[in-house]
Amino acid sequence: MPPNEGNYELKVSVQEVQGESLPGNNERILSTRVENKIIKALIVDSFPRWEYRFLRNALDRDPGIDMKCVLFHPGIAPGEGKGYLPGFPNTKDELASFDVVFLGDVGLGENELSEEQCQNLDELIRLQASGLVFLPGRRGRQLTLTNSPISDLLPIVYDPQKPTGLGTSNQSKLELTARGKDHWLTNLRGAGEPDRQFWDRLPGFHWSAIVSKSRPGSEVLAVHSNFRNDWGRMPTLAIRYAGAGKTLFLGSDGAWRWRRGVEDKYHYRFWSQVVRWMAHGRYLAEKEGIRLIPDPERPKSGENVFVRCIVLDKAGFPLEDGEVDGVIIHPRGQRESLRFTADEEGPGVYLTSFKAREPGDLRMEVKTFPAERELGMTLKVERQMKEKLGQPVVSRDLLQLARLTGGKSVNYQEYEEVTQALSFLPAPQAVIQIHRLRTDTAWGLFLFGLLVIYWTGRKLAGMI
């Protein structure tokens, strides 16, 4: 636990093993900065269902989160009280202050979200590096978002035939995928769990949104334990990177049940990690009125780094028709000038890119005109770990592949063990392939030819 804000250097080292092939990789140094940031979150829903109530309490009690709510209450006046807004922010400037937005059982329509508000929300995620969480409900209003400007932000594809979702008397659970077992979001730091087996012990849910499949480019972290469709196991927890921002989909409304018997041990920590993970990109490097967002955050030597600069003028509005210049100082001291170009899709957003030449600390400094804002940041460029001819391979990836496929990975010096294990494998089973004649073009032409001969013969024989 860091005692104060500031820069910290972490060092991890392991003892050298006798006969080790690569003794030079037993140490890793990481530089990081600790800051006290207040993340601004917005929760939008239609009715105060249990998922909404417990999520609101979790964020409201987090000292690092400034939470606001919008409760539409169809048929009556919107919700009022501490932390409530009279309506969804109507302008880009009002919405730009929020780092994370939670969308509950709301959609596109009268007394809910408008086309313009959805467009502003889309630009907030793509251009301003904010996060968006989809939390569907039993009304099925989120299906209307598939025809809105934020449709491409959805990590999944809803089933339009079943808008009210799937309800079961027996509870179902979230089953982590191979990607989910390694992702940072599923490892609840501080919960005291040595591994991710606690996900199997969490209370389940009785309702979930019906999803056809995940969208290309999305990462599925968990699937429904019981429900399958034509595409396989139904995604229930999925994430997606969209522009500079991120989106998350949780298809069940039973996360509040995780509090049973343990209070906030899992529920609060999960949503706390979600909020901080989504807002992370906005706070990599920032001062008043200017932000720098590099992608990737920890590049490797030889990789291209894409930089997004978000600038506000002295009045706090996006800087239009301005100039943004930058310079980078490579680890060996070489200087390189950067020229930012304005992003046509979003005012106040400027883009550039460069190539990380060698490993080490890379310094970047940016100046803007006429707003006269300056900002600098340091990137840690890592060394490329490429396999070289005649040297030992990087076994970490091969070991992970063996674990995922149920195989085995051993050192190259134990090759006799591998060959012996292969010799005891059973003979492969014969592969049976079913050839459907009704879909075969040649077979259809053959049948057509027989019919032509048959009817032609009847005609020649005088049989009508």
* Predicted local distance difference test score (pLDDT) of residue 230: 83
Phi/psi for 38 (5° steps) reads -100, 115
On whether residue 326 sits in a domain, the answer given is yes
Q: Is the pLDDT of residue 316 over 80?
A: no
* Predicted local distance difference test score (pLDDT) of residue 132: 96
On whether residue 352 sits in a domain, the answer given is yes
Q: Are residues 185 and 333 in the same domain?
A: no
Nearest to 361 by CA among 9, 3, 1, 22: 9
On whether residue 316 sits in a domain, the answer given is yes
**372-395 tens-digit pLDDT:** 899 998 888 988 766 666 666 667
Partnered with residue 128 across adjacent β-strands are none
Q: Are residues 95 and 199 in the same domain?
A: yes
Q: How confident is the model at residue 2 (pLDDT cuts 50, 70, 90)?
A: confident
Q: Are residues 132 and 227 in the same domain?
A: yes
On whether residue 411 sits in a domain, the answer given is no
Report which secondary-structure segment, H or E, holds 276. helix 267-279
On whether residue 311 sits in a domain, the answer given is yes
On whether residue 371 sits in a domain, the answer given is yes
Residue type, 185: L
Whether the ω angle into residue 63 lies within 30 degrees of 0, i.e. cis, is no
Task: Report the alpha-carbon distance of residue 2 to residue 36 in Å, rounded.
Answer: 11
Kindly report the CATH number assigned to the domain that includes residue 159. 3.40.50.880
Give the pair of three-digit tokens for residue 173: 């659970």
Considering only the C-alpha atoms of the chain, give the largest distance between any 2 of them, rounded to a whole number of Å. 104
3-class secondary structure, 220:
strand
Q: Are residues 172 and 212 in the same domain?
A: yes
**261-283 tens-digit pLDDT:** 888 888 999 999 999 999 988 88
Give all strands (DSSP E) within 272-391, no chain letters.
285-287, 290-295, 304-311, 323-329, 335-339, 341-342, 349-355, 360-369, 374-381
- Quick one: what percent of the chain has pLDDT higher than 70? 97
On whether residue 435 sits in a domain, the answer given is no
Give the pair of three-digit tokens for residue 213: 């499949």
Give all strands (DSSP E) within 53-127, no chain letters.
65-71, 100-103
Give the pair of three-digit tokens for residue 236: 């229930």
Task: Report the alpha-carbon distance of residue 142 to residue 135 in Å, rounded.
Answer: 9
Q: How confident is the model at residue 296 (pLDDT cuts 50, 70, 90)?
A: confident
Q: Is the pLDDT of residue 464 over 70?
A: no
5 contact partners, CB below 8 Å, separation of at least 6: 34, 35, 36
**411-461 tens-digit pLDDT:** 777 878 888 888 877 877 777 777 777 778 888 899 999 999 999 988 888
192 contact partners, CB below 8 Å, separation of at least 6: 265
On whether residue 274 sits in a domain, the answer given is yes
Phi/psi for 449 (5° steps) reads -65, -40
* Predicted local distance difference test score (pLDDT) of residue 419: 82
Q: Are residues 255 and 356 in the same domain?
A: no
Describe the strand order of the beta sheet including 349-355 as a list of residue ranges.
285-287, 290-295, 304-311, 349-355, 341-342
Q: How far is CA 352 from CA 234, 292, 339, in A?
A: 39, 11, 7
Describe the strand order of the beta sheet including 374-381 as a list of residue ranges.
335-339, 323-329, 360-369, 374-381
205 within 8 A of 171, measured Cβ to Cβ:
yes
Nearest to 58 by CA among 82, 37, 41: 41
Among residues 357, 381, 405, which one ends one of the domains? 381
Q: Are residues 337 and 276 in the same domain?
A: no
Q: Are residues 267 and 290 in the same domain?
A: no
Task: Report the alpha-carbon distance of residue 283 to residue 262 in Å, rounded.
Answer: 32
Among residues 282, 297, 332, which one ends one of the domains? 282
Task: Report the alpha-carbon distance of residue 200 to residue 186 in Å, rounded.
Answer: 12
Nearest to 298 by CA among 379, 383, 384: 379
As a residue count, the chain comes to: 464
Q: Are residues 178 and 307 in the same domain?
A: no
Nearest to 377 by CA among 36, 125, 31: 31
**190-240 tens-digit pLDDT:** 667 777 888 888 899 999 999 999 999 899 999 998 888 888 889 999 999
Q: Are residues 314 and 273 in the same domain?
A: no
Mean of the per-residue pLDDT values of the chain: 87
Q: Are residues 208 and 316 in the same domain?
A: no
Among residues 381, 398, 425, which one ends one of the domains? 381
Higher pLDDT, 399 or 100: 100
Quote the domain boundaries for residue 210: 39-282
Q: How confident is the model at residue 170 (pLDDT cuts 50, 70, 90)?
A: confident
Nearest to 380 by CA among 33, 31, 35, 34: 31
Q: Are residues 146 and 71 in the same domain?
A: yes
- Count of beta carbons in the 10 Å neighbourhood of residue 156: 23
Nearest to 220 by CA among 249, 253, 258, 254: 249
Give the pair of three-digit tokens for residue 278: 């989504």
Q: How confident is the model at residue 33 (pLDDT cuts 50, 70, 90)?
A: confident
Q: Is the pLDDT of residue 37 over 80?
A: yes
Domain count, the chain: 2
Nearest to 356 by CA among 308, 296, 292: 296
DSSP category for residue 187 = S
Kindly report the CATH number assigned to the domain that includes residue 336. 2.60.40.10
Q: Are residues 182 and 325 in the same domain?
A: no
